[in-house]
Amino acid sequence: MIMIFTALNCEAKPIIRYFGLKKDPQFHMFQVFKNEDIILLVTKPGIVNAAIGVAHLCSVCPPNSSDLLLNIGICGAKNRNMPIGTVYLCNKIYEMETGFCYYPDMIYAHPFKESGILSSTSPVLENSAADLPENLADMEAVGIYRAGILFFQLHQMFIVKIVSDHLQFDKIDSNVVSDLIGRNMPEIAAWITRLHSGMINTPPVFTPEEENLLAEVSKYLRLTVSMQNQLRQAIHYYKLQHGSFSAQLSSFIQKEIVLPVKNKYERKKCFERLMQEFA
Amino acid sequence: MNGLCRNLLNPPFSHIYIEENIIDHPNTVKIMSHFPKSRQVIIKHYKDIFNRSRQNYPLQKQSQNLILAEKRPPFVYKGSPLCQNFGNARFFYANAAINCVYDCEYCYLQGMYPSANIVVFVNLEDIFNDVGKLLKNDPVYLCISYDTDLLALEGFLGYCEKWMEFAEFYPNLTVELRTKSANWNSLEKLAPRENVILAWTLSCEHVWEKYEHGAPSPMQRINCIDKALAKGFQTRLCFDPVIYIKGWEEEYGRLVETIFSKLPAGKIKDVSTGSFRIPCAYLKNMRKNKPYSSIINYPFMAENNVYVYPPGLSDKLNLYMHDILKKHIPEEKIFVWK
């Protein structure tokens, strides 16, 4: 699943249209749109709203290790040589109120420019541009990042910003915003879907059936937690060496006439035989 | 654990993070000149990047970035009891860089640090000053390439050369440079020093092939050692860690035979060997990152917060290595970790 977060309806509109998302009526506090692979939530503007939106969606639909978080939105640029409509992937997020910096992991290739971004609770205006420590400014990135990090690993989160103005907050028009996002959607969508399809989800070493078998053995032998850990590690290694352990463990259970064990002495002896079997 | 297909990742060192206070340091400028295409990101402190929570170590290892930072005190550390001190009482180590370009599955660095990115401390002069102070009293045995492989980074770092120049002025300093590199191009430019030991870690063919991703083959290392011996470098061979694998006796026996058929044993300064051991906390982290690695998922025994092979096996590995080495090297030159 790709989880997309936007602050404004006008930012969400072209994304909803591009992916053919449908409104999910089960969400009442936020507007949520989805299809099979993508879910989008409109957070409303501001750092706190952004953090609440991410935390809410991730609590309702907990992401797994192959899911991605994508924030798409507009931003202001302090330099005139950063043209309106340019897409940036943020490699640094400066939190205006605290002075703390956060760094998304830059380990994937992408077709965009990169920049740091300043995130603040109130709009940054043109007359303070010279003092800004970063080239871009927005009002959500740090909220998205700080809430997202509770649910995702660093490499799963992306802050993508499109320059909409040069810190002239009053000149932003919702139709222009939709147009800026819409124009860049094919490139952003192609990149994120390719990345998502390339995520490899490594399954756990033990299958559910093997977990059940291990639990059964632990129950029969009345193993202590420490013994369970020792057995688990020995069988883990055995499986990596031989590919499977189920047949051998099942036959051990069948041939052990003392099972279930009746006292600590029986347990100790039986456990030693079992560990010997998988040594 | 999850990952990404390799072709989606950035090439190594695509990004270089630089602490704001060392941007103009000569070493920073020199290192940056080797990476004109890398993106620079200015940071306050290297730990803001290196110690972030929720990093994916195995994935970062496939697309390592570089962090240039200032080393703050302490500059020199006391040697770990898990490391061989070769009979030196005043055993220290210094880390002018953290992390390695090679991806060895059994390496403790993966369990020690939260990030696979490479940190280079550019203020080498501060480390030198501190070592100088230590040398005022007694001789010092200093390992400079434990938490990294300096020779593998020498192409853009040049720290091996600087350490050798430094060591020349301090006869009571013995420097050990541990490496798996076969970077002869860098070594051949350097002049051998009596008090600088080049120590090569050597692994059998099977361990290299299956578990030492990206590291030079045993034969490449042997060829490099051969050239180093011919040029007069003080050279140490480290069969450490010895790893328990199927057919380990044949594998390590073949390795030792190959080495001494190619290298002049008389020129080798000394040899160390020791079975695999690792602090429990590190191994737990490594197992989380690599649940499918058989080498680190061996059911080790915990002894004083250190995972080791069961006593019988550990002794067997050490004894066997000692026996096959003493056929080629005088016993007083063989150091076995126990």
Query: What are the DSSP calls for B216-271, one per residue?
Result: PPHHHHHHHHHHHHHHT-EEEEEEEEE---TTHHHHHHHHHHHHHHHS-GGG--EE
The packing angle between helices A264-277 and A246-255, to 10°, is: 140
Intra-chain end-to-end CA distance of chain B, in Å: 35
Residues A135 and A29 in one domain: yes
Positions of chain A with pLDDT lower than 50, given as ranges = none
Q: Does A130 touch chain B (CB under 8 A)?
A: no
Cβ contact B65–A230 (<8 Å):
no
In a domain, A203, yes or no: no
Residues A175 and A224 in one domain: no
Strand ranges inside chain B, DSSP E = 2-4, 15-19, 39-43, 66-69, 77-78, 91-93, 97-98, 103-104, 118-121, 140-143, 173-179, 196-201, 212-213, 234-242, 270-275, 277-279, 301-303, 306-308, 334-336
Contacts of A242 in chain B (CB under 8 A): none
Q: Which residue's structure tokens are 């800004």?
A: A132
In a domain, A243, yes or no: yes
In a domain, A202, yes or no: no
Residue B1 pLDDT level (bands cut at 50, 70, 90): very low
Q: What is the Cα–Cα distance from B293 to A180, expressed in whole angstroms?
A: 47
Q: What is the Cα–Cα distance from A63 to A61, expressed in whole angstroms?
A: 6
Q: Does A229 touch chain B (CB under 8 A)?
A: no
Q: Report the gap between the CA of B221 and the closest CA in chain A (Å).
A: 29
Mean pLDDT, chain B, whole residue set: 95
Residues A228 and A94 in one domain: no
Query: Domain boundary residue among A197, A220, A240?
Result: A197
Cβ contact B297–A107 (<8 Å):
no
In a domain, A7, yes or no: yes
The packing angle between helices B159-168 and B150-157, to 10°, is: 100
With contact defined as beta carbons under 8 Å apart, do A185 and A111 qualify? no
Domain region containing A15: 2-197
Q: Report the gap between the CA of A110 and the closest CA in chain B (Å).
A: 8
Q: What is the Cα–Cα distance from B186 to A180, expressed in whole angstroms?
A: 51
Residues A270 and A142 in one domain: no
Cβ contact B53–A106 (<8 Å):
no
CATH architecture of B72-95+124-336: Alpha-Beta Horseshoe (3.80)
More confident residue, A260 or B182: B182
- Chain B residues 255-294 with a CB less than 8 Å from chain A: 291-294
Read off the CATH number of the domain in which A21 is found. Answer: 3.40.50.1580
In a domain, A236, yes or no: yes
In a domain, A231, yes or no: yes
Q: How distant, in Å, are the alpha carbons of B86, B142, B214, B302, B327 from that of B332? A: 11, 21, 34, 30, 12
Cβ contact A65–B2 (<8 Å):
yes
Residues A48 and A171 in one domain: yes
Give me the interface pTM, i.e. the ipTM.
0.92
pLDDT tens digits for range B186-219:
999 999 999 999 999 999 999 999 999 999 999 9
The structure tokens listed for B173 are 């300093």
Residue from A1, A58, A107 whose CB has the most chain B CBs within 10 Å, to mutate: A107
Residues A157 and A218 in one domain: no
Looking at the structure of chain A, the number of domains it has is 2
Mean pLDDT for B158-175 is 96
Residues A45 and A173 in one domain: yes
Q: What is the pLDDT of residue B311?
A: 83
Q: Does B247 touch chain A (CB under 8 A)?
A: no
Predicted TM-score (pTM) of the model is: 0.94
Q: Does A125 touch chain B (CB under 8 A)?
A: no
Q: What is the pLDDT of residue B337?
A: 87
Q: Report the gap between the CA of A264 and the closest CA in chain B (Å).
A: 22
Determine what percent of chain B is predicted with pLDDT higher than 90.
94
Q: How distant, in Å, are the alpha carbons of A35, A58, A67, A208 from that of A1? A: 9, 11, 5, 23
Residues A47 and A122 in one domain: yes
Q: What is the Cα–Cα distance from B62 to A107, expressed in whole angstroms?
A: 8
Query: Domain boundary residue among A197, A223, A253?
Result: A197
Residues A140 and A216 in one domain: no
With contact defined as beta carbons under 8 Å apart, do A76 and A164 qualify? yes
Determine what percent of chain B is predicted with pLDDT higher than 70.
98
Contacts of B291 in chain A (CB under 8 A): 202, 204-205, 236
Task: Indicate the residue of A106, A109, A153 with minimum beta-carbon distance to B56.
Answer: A153
In a domain, A32, yes or no: yes
Task: Indicate the residue of A101, A114, A234 with minimum beta-carbon distance to B48.
Answer: A101
Q: Report the gap between the CA of B7 and the closest CA in chain A (Å).
A: 8
Residues A171 and A114 in one domain: yes
The structure tokens listed for B293 are 């690695």
Amino acid at A217: V
Task: Indicate the residue of B4, B49, B53 with minimum beta-carbon distance to A199.
Answer: B4
Q: What is the Cα–Cα distance from B271 to B84, expressed in whole angstroms?
A: 11
Query: Domain boundary residue among A163, A197, A231?
Result: A197
pLDDT tens digits for range B245-302:
999 999 999 999 999 999 999 999 999 999 999 999 999 999 999 999 999 999 999 9
Residues A217 and A189 in one domain: no
Residues A117 and A166 in one domain: yes
